Amino acid sequence: EDEIHKVFDDIDQMVVQTPEITFFSKLIQEQEIKRQKRQSQQFLLFLSCALVLISLLAFSLVAYTYIFLVVQILSALVPALLLIVYFVKRRERLQ
């Protein structure tokens, strides 16, 4: 029991200094700077991902448009060429 009273007396005699407001203000400012840096890094990452996706979509659009045009031209040319070959062979048979 005496030891318990001694511990409480020691606690009461301790000098506890109140922290200064400037310390907390600096701490809050540092945390705000860290948060802003993290947000800017996240924004740059998001922006770079968006640019990559836009580039891929643009490349895909150009590539698929080119393929579509080639297929359309071939689908028009092949029947025309086959008709020409048919008429040439028919003329050869008739002569």
pTM of the model: 0.52
CA distance 56 to 88: 47
Q: Give per-residue pLDDT as tens, 26-70.
A: 888 999 999 999 999 999 999 999 999 999 999 999 999 999 999
Predicted confidence (pLDDT) at residue 16 exceeds the cutoff of 60: no
Contacts within 8 Å (CB) and 24+ apart, 27-33 = none
CA angle 79, 86, 76 (to 5 degrees): 10
Burial class (CB in 10 A: 0-12, 13-18, 19+), 29: exposed
